[in-house]
Structure 1
Amino acid sequence: MGRSVALAYVLWFFLGSLGIHRMYCGRVGSGVTMLALTIIGGITFPILIGHILVFIVGVWWLVDLFLTAGMAQRAR
């Protein structure tokens, strides 16, 4: 029995860059990693390293568009 796919996508859309949808689906480690990258990227954005981190999180967020349904269905 999985989590709600609809709720997982709502979390992905509104809080996706923070990794909340991954934490909801039981992927706490990768969710915390996504959260950390977003925070560090936001802090270091003025010195250009943040641009790279924010870009990585953005690509990861887009890839999760296709992975979130499966993660939600497999979550316990």
Structure 2
Amino acid sequence: MQKVLKIDNENSKILVSGEDGKSMEEYNLSSCTFTPQVGDFVNIYKSADNVIIEKKTVTESVKTNSPVNNVTTTEGGKQVNKIVYILITLFLGGLGIHKFISGKIGIGFAYIAITVFGTLLFFLGPVVVGILCIIDIVKVAGLPADPSGNVTVKSTGFFEA
């Protein structure tokens, strides 16, 4: 991910981090299709005689880390550790904690309501939520994990992992 590090208006230059994140590359300000600011994430397109620098939008691939449970937000979902998510679903699924982590707040509250009110009505609530949790565990277990063991859990749709 490339990032604007410095803008030199006097010499009409822009300093950008290299693709490896360790090097730096210098370009003409005229290559930018936007007014750059230090800290902007950019896409750089190069040809033999031309360079175009565009501002990267937040939803393209910029991830924000949350200090709680090391949850990373991506476009269309949240990245969570697969094993941790399955364990949370297994032990705290009746309270909908795994749904809160995946960004499905309303469904998380629905799990709580089904568990509490269902317990009062012939103990069917925990059975229903238990079945839904087993479905969630199977769905997440089937998702491919990245090298660090994370999976993307979608934050939309009731039956999406």
In the superposition, the TM-score normalised over structure 2's length comes to 0.38
- CA RMSD, aligned part only? 2.1
User: Which sections of structure 1, spanning at least 5 residues, go unmatched?
Assistant: none
- Structure with bigger strand share is 2
Residue 147 (structure 2) pairs with residue 73 (structure 1) = no
Residue 35 (structure 2) pairs with residue 35 (structure 1) = no
* Greater relative contact order (CA < 8 Å, ≥ 6 in sequence): 1
Q: Larger C-alpha radius of gyration, 1 or 2?
A: 2
Change (3 A) 1:33 1:13: same
Deviation at 1:75, TM superposition (A): 4.8
Q: Contact between 2:94 and 2:115, CA under 8 Å: does it hold in 1?
A: yes
- Name the CA distance, whole Å, in 2 between partners of 1:29 and 1:66: 21
Change (3 A) 1:74 1:15: closer
In the superposition, the TM-score normalised over structure 1's length comes to 0.71
- Structure with bigger helix share is 1
Q: Write out aligned runs for 1:6-17 (5 A).
A: 6-17=83-94
Q: Contact between 1:22 and 1:30, CA under 8 Å: does it hold in 2?
A: yes
SS in 1 for 2:152: helix
Give the count of matched residue pairs.
70
